[in-house]
Structure 1
Amino acid sequence: MTFLLLIILVIVLLFTITEIRTKYLTKPIFVAFKKILPPMSTTEKTAMEAGDVWWDGEIFCGKPDWQKLHDYPDASLSKEEQDFLDNQVNTLLAMIDDFKIVHEAHDLPKEVWDYMKSEGFFAMIIPKSYGGLEFSATANSTIVAKIATRSTSAAVCVMVPNSLGPGELLMHYGTQEQKDRWLPGLSNGTEVPCFALTGPEAGSDAGAIPDKGIVCEEEFNGVKTLGIKLTWDKRYITLAPVATVLGLAFKLYDPDKLLGETEDIGITCALIPADHPGVEIGDRHMPMGLAFMNGTTSGKEVFIPMDWVIGGADYAGKGWRMLVECLSAGRGISLPALATAIGHISTKTTSAYAYVRKQFGLSIGKFEGIQEPLARIGAHTYVLEATRRFTTSALDMGAKPSVVTAISKYHMTELGRTVLNDAMDIHAGKAIQFGPQNYLGNLYLGVPIAITVEGANILTRNLMIFGQGATRCHPYVFKEMEAAANSDFKQGLKDFDALLVKHIAFSARNFGYTLLSGLTASKFAQSPVAGETADYYKQLNRMSSALAVCSDVSMLVLGGALKRKEMISARLGDVFSQLYLASAVLKRYEADGRQVSDLPLVHYSIQNALYEMGQAFDGYFENFKPKWLSSILRRVVFPYGISYRKPSDSLARAICRTLLKSSPARDRITHLCYMGTDEKDAVGSIEAAFNAMHECQSIELKIHGAQKTGKLPRRVPLAKAIEKALEIELITAEEAAKIKRADELRQAAIAVDSFAPEDYPNTVR
């Protein structure tokens, strides 16, 4: 007892008397922390500081404020934005033949380019004062997604000028003169922008770009001018082959110190007319399955005046911060929009195809082997649409959550890949023959591009999500790092001490809550809602606190080595990400008015997210060292073992019952899918067959019933069965015409493209 009281007394003294705590606890930790703090490059530091912390901070705190989630404004379109979607976007899509674009012309038709330019498709983010549309992030995302359901090539052409590029950089950092010079032209389409960052030797590590500029003075337009002599070699630059203005990122050096005392100034961004002497717009690349303009650009010792630096001379060396801050927002719009488009078109067409395609006299959608992937398609599309709108709502609120957008980019493009793989499997032979009727083929070939752009997903998962999230979203770690980096040891120690006390209390609370939640399975925890989703909030609270505990332990044990333990940090990042996706699903369900018909999709999505968290934690515990510590963590988080399971078969069947008929739930996750009015339109035709067959269900049942009883012959073509049914007056002439028409539409919908020999005159026979 005396020993126990002595321990308690020591703890009390440490935590209540500042001088004692600082001397015997904080200072040793502070000194050790300074030693293990990993060296951080300028580019890493800039990336770490860029952007905002939003809902990701709530997830990481161990106790999310769910009321805050519900209070966030829902992503929505203004009347002007909706009118543009209903009119200009639909007009554009009616002009597009994606098969011809990709497989014949390898480019958008001139009339499509002209229409996009004249109607402001390249100027959605530019203010109205410069002639732009000044649309919201949600509108930008929605428009790109809808275009992508028709043509990914066209969507990319629209996406790039409205994402990371000259327009956005000019609006945020450009001088007034630069804005007045370029933004009106970018708005009306007379100027086409591209931005060159990636080169042969520098992709994800932008800090390693070899492209360089030397500050110097040369004659320009007959006047001696302070400027930069540039040499660069870039590749993978979208719109470069057709660009009139080139945005360029390079390293700037000032050996003669014409700008100041610093010789190595850093990454800088400039805007250069494409017809400027020395600028080379080189060869064109051919991205798989797509026909958007993408190519190379280079230049050797090209002189530009200093006022072509975006923001002017004052912004020389600030290019990396400019890029990271803009990219953190754009990453949450463009590529997630493409992934969501995959979900919308795959759900719309695959559910319809599974209903109209028959085997053994039954719609293939009635076979459980088809229902399993079809349910995945529907549930993943619900997650995609929920996450898309949740993320753009943050951007429309003015936030720039860099971690959230990285999560969106990685997981949404991966979900899009999964959805498309399942859709291809269900369509089988129809999906692998190219032609105007194949609405999945170009998407399938193009999906790796979305996954690779803005950094391959391997990079995003293993380095960015948790690597950045652990420091930015943790309530104390980033501040502790700043305190440790303070050159004033005394002040740094004082700041660190205040943070350390709060950090210890934070960790203790999360440890206690995690253990209690695990022992009680969160049965007695509170939930902000009642009903069928109430338990999900409890489980997500439990996983949030478990993530906080494991993150603290990992950072304490591994220190700076954690960023090199990419497999460990990636698994914690997976938990982090699934918490975000699940939050988006719950937000969507509430924002849509808690629709009962959406519940199978919600249940499947959250249960799958919890299962993925369990798997990620299991991998973390298996591989984290020391083993005795990982065993303790496993017992704290999951005292009775990991109980989260994959969604059940009955839940998958419930989703399929929703998708295999016209329903509000199906409409909500496919509303962006464009369907042409022409009966020959690939997507429109399969939806027409789907609806026509549903209208004929009662007629079909009469015929099948008569076949079972022997009144009509079995195993005969449908046309013959209809003829006999009409003869015995089982159906009326009107019903016979109706079901014949439905079967004609069905046959057209399942047809596969074929081509005459003269279409391929060089074929060897």
Structure 2
Amino acid sequence: MDKAWVSAQGPGLPWTAGEYETLRDQVRRFVEEEIKPSADHWEQDGFVPRSILRRMGELGFFGIRYPTEYGGAEMDAVASVVFAEELGRSTYGGAADAILVHSDMASAYVFHDGSKAQRDRWMPGIVRGETITAVAITEPDAGSDMKAIRTRARRDGDSFVLNGTKLYITNGVHADLYCVAATTNASAGANGITMFLVEKGTPGFHVARELDKQGWRSSDTAELVFNDCRVPAENMLGAEGQGFYSMMRNLQNERLVLAAMALGTAEAALDATLAWVKARRAFGGALWDMQAIRHRLAMLSAKVEAAREFLYATAWRMAADDDCLREISMLKALCGELVNEVAYACVQFHGAMGVMRESPIERIARDARILSIAGGATEVMLDVIASLM
């Protein structure tokens, strides 16, 4: 983020350029010192260790947007974008995904929709990285079409009994607290969906299987099953029947940080490829000496920079509580597709090395693929944009 750009926003932005850049420096240093040296092992193990998540909590990374009463810093959407962009630049998409699901996606349901009692109980541990969260919405027959959720929650005295299956749930294996969407009134459509907090170990709730993915290898992903899972009524998250609207509201921040993660990944891919083509010798000179390669990388760099300006302008608007549905949908579609365009070209310019597991570009290309799907597929985003035109 350019400091001059931040200064140009004037008094509407509550944080100074220096404070955002301090956050960026802290995250970048953590990535270099704590993530990159060990992340290859996490890719093999299939999850980010608890010790790392607790360390991130100690450093304040999980409280960026949350109040000081819970140990947070009370920053804004611009800070979340800085955080996500730098995690994307790590080149380990799985680790970035696992972290961001907790920091900006699942925990947001607890904070924004939870009662004061729920927030007081859970938010301190969430911010400290001691209570890891997941959000369980997607099902075998309900992905982007969230109104098609079939998991049922039946009222029984002072409890709700949940039955159903959730699929492709990030942090699904190792989370402590799950924000689960279920239908409490099947005939009411979107108005019948309610969110619940379900703790790990609750009878009737179990991880059916850990899923094996093409990319994002270091984020654990699971299928969850609820079989007569009894949840106290006090664990209802927000008002009954308001779950769909809660999901739509929280998805805006999710899509914003995914766009930022995608841009950070594209930036890292371009940096690595620029270094490669300047060092790689072929036909009597460096690959960089070939005009076709220089021009392609220059155009991709221009596209990434343009998207980045759009990203930060939208983050600032979101921080100012503007309605950014159109812009965030554009960003999610644009950045998800752009990171794949960049990754494809970068693999090409690496030649055979681009498909070797020892190359960061190979991992970036695998991880980039899901960024046009997760959090809202490109086609869904384009439909949203078209509906607002």
Same fold, TM exceeding 0.5? yes
Distance 2:39 2:108 in 1: 32
**Residue in 1 that maps onto 2:368:** 447
State the distance in 1 between where 2:120 and 2:289 align: 61
1:299-347 per-position Cα deviation (integer Å, ceiling 9, x unaligned): 1122222221113xxx100111111112123312x21112211221122
Q: 1:411-466, CA deviations, whole angstroms, 9 ceiling, x for partnerless residues?
A: 1111111111111111112221111xx221111001121111123212222x2211
Q: Residue in 2 aligned with 1:538?
A: none
**Pair 134,124 (structure 1): closer, same or farther in 2 beyond 3 Å:** same
Give the fraction of aligned pairs with identical amino acids, expressed as a percent.
21
Matches within 5 A, 1:547-586: none
1:235 maps to which residue? 167
Which segments of 5 or more consecutive residues in structure 2 lack a partner in the other structure?
1-7
SS at match of 1:299: strand
2:252 aligns to what?
328
1:306 has 2:233 as partner: yes
2:94 maps to which of 153, 172, 184:
153
In the aligned structure 1, how far is the partner of 2:230 from the partner of 2:253? 32
- CA distance, structure 1, for counterparts of residue 13 and residue 54 of structure 2: 34
**In structure 1, distance between residues paired with 2:271 and 2:283:** 24
Aligned partners of 1:355 and 1:363 also within 8 Å: yes
Q: In structure 1, what is the equivalent of residue 379 of structure 2? A: 458
1:181-224 superposed Cα distances (whole Å, 9 cap, x missing partner) = 1111111122111110000011111111111111221xxxxxxx
Q: TM-score, normalised by structure 2?
A: 0.89
Normalised by the size of structure 1, how large is the TM-score? 0.47
**Counterpart residue identity of residue 21, structure 2:** Q
Output the CA distance in 1 between the equivalents of 2:183 and 2:141.
14
More strand as a share of residues = 2
The 8 Å contact of residues 75 and 392 in structure 1, kept in 2 or not, is answered as: no
- Deviation string for 1:33-90 (max 9, x for gaps)? xxxxxxxxxxxxxxxxxxxxxxxxxxxxxxxxxxxx9889679765444334323541
1:134 corresponding residue in structure 2: 74
Q: What's the offset of the Cα at 1:383? A: 1.7
Query: Structure 2 residue aligned with 1:274, among 200, 204, 213?
Result: 200
* Structure 2 Cα separation of the partners of residues 283 and 374 of structure 1: 41
What is the CA–CA distance in structure 2 between the aligned matches of 1:264 and 1:459, rounded to whole Å? Answer: 17
Q: Which residue, 133, 144, 151 being the options, matches 2:84?
A: 144
Separation in structure 1 between the aligned mates of residue 9 and residue 186 of structure 2, nearest angstrom: 52
1:400, CA displacement in angstroms?
3.8
Q: Distance in 2 between matches of 1:263 and 1:155?
A: 34
Give the 3-state SS of the residue equivalent to 1:317 in structure 2: coil
Aligned to 2:57: 117
CA, structure 1 residues 401+327, in 2 after alignment: closer, same or farther (shift >3 Å)?
A: same
Determine the C-alpha separation between the residues in 1 that align with 2:208 and 2:329. Answer: 31
What corresponds to 1:86 in structure 2?
Answer: 25
Q: For residue 410 of structure 1, what is the amino acid of its counterpart? A: A
**Offset, 1:378:** 1.2
**What secondary structure is seen at the aligned counterpart in 2 of 1:441?**
helix
Of residues 170, 178, 183, the one that matches 2:110 is 170
Which position in structure 2 is the counterpart of 1:184?
A: 124
Other-structure match for 1:107? 47
SS state at 1:163 partner: helix
Which secondary structure state, in structure 1, belongs to the residue aligned with residue 63 of structure 2?
Answer: coil
Contact 1:328 1:400 in 2 (8 A): no
2:213 aligns to what SS in structure 1?
coil
Asked if the contact 2:88–2:261 (Cα under 8 Å) also holds between the matched residues in 1, the reply is: yes
**Cα distance change on mapping 1:197 and 1:203 into 2, 3 Å:** same
Contact 2:280 2:287 in 1 (8 A): yes
The answer (yes or no) to whether the contact 1:280–1:298 under 8 Å persists in 2 is: yes
Aligned 8 A contact 2:23 2:79 in 1: no
Matches for 1:183-202 after TM superposition, within 5 Å: 183-202=123-142
Tell whether the 8 Å contact from 2:279 to 2:286 is kept in structure 1 after alignment.
yes
The amino acid of 1:101's aligned partner reads: H
Q: Secondary structure at the match of 1:454?
A: coil
Alignment partners' CA distance in 2, 1:73 and 1:323: 27
Conserved? CA contact 1:245–1:272, under 8 Å: yes
Quote the RMSD (CA, aligned, Å).
2.6
**Mapped contact 1:342–1:419 kept (Cα < 8 A):** no
Say if 1:92 and 1:116, in contact at 8 Å, map to a contact too.
no
CA shift in 2, pair 1:216/1:253, >3 Å: farther
Q: Which amino acid aligns with 1:445?
A: R
SS in 2 for 1:453: coil
Contact map agreement 2:105 2:254 (CA 8 A) in 1: yes
Residue in 1 that maps onto 2:5: none
Distance 1:264 1:204 in 2: 13
Distance in 2 (CA, whole Å) between partners of 1:328 and 1:245 is 21
| Cα pair 2:205 2:226 within 8 Å, conserved | yes
CA displacement at 1:180 relative to structure 2: 0.8
Counterpart of 1:428 in structure 2 is: 351
**Structure 1 contact 196–248 (Cα < 8 Å) conserved:** yes
Distance 1:265 1:142 in 2: 35
Residue 350 (1) aligns with residue 273 (2): yes
CA shift digits 1:448-489 (9 cap, x unpaired): 21111123212222x22112x13xxxxxxxxxxxxxxxxxxx
Distance in 2 between residues matched to 1:405 and 1:464, nearest whole Å? 10
Distance 1:175 1:399 in 2: 25
Structure-1 separation of matches of 2:190 and 2:74: 37
Structure 2 counterpart of 1:450, which letter?
L
Separation of aligned partners in 1, 2:254 and 2:320: 14
3-state DSSP of counterpart to 2:231: strand
Q: Choose the corresponding residue for 1:209, options 138, 149, 152.
A: 149
- Residue type of the alignment partner of 1:284: E
Query: Does the Cα contact within 8 Å between 1:343 and 1:384 map onto a contact in 2?
Result: no
Return the offset for 1:130.
0.9
CA change 1:177–1:196 in 2 (3 A) is same
Report if aligned partners of 1:335, 1:450 keep a CA contact under 8 Å in 2. Answer: yes
Alpha-carbon separation, structure 1, partners of 2:54 and 2:96: 15
SS in 1 for 2:321: coil
Provide the rounded CA distance (Å) in 2 between the counterparts of 1:72 and 1:362.
51
Matches within 5 A, 1:459-538: 459-461=380-382, 463-467=383-387, 469-470=388-389
**Structure 2 CA distance for partners of 1:180 and 1:430, relative to 1, 3 Å:** same
> Residues 134 and 321 (structure 1 numbering): CA distance in 2 closer, same or farther, change over 3 Å?
same
Q: Deviations over 1:517-569 (max 9, x none)?
A: xxxxxxxxxxxxxxxxxxxxxxxxxxxxxxxxxxxxxxxxxxxxxxxxxxxxx
Cα distance in 2 for residues equivalent to 1:129 and 1:452: 36
Superimposed CA distance per residue, residues 541-599 of structure 1 (whole angstroms, 9 cap, x where no aligned partner): xxxxxxxxxxxxxxxxxxxxxxxxxxxxxxxxxxxxxxxxxxxxxxxxxxxxxxxxxxx
SS at structure 1 position matched to 2:349: helix
2:344 counterpart of 1:418: no
Partner Cα separation in structure 2 for residue 77 and residue 293 of structure 1: 36
Secondary structure, counterpart of 2:154 in structure 1: strand
Structure 1 pair 387–296 and aligned structure 2 pair: CA distance change class (3 A): same
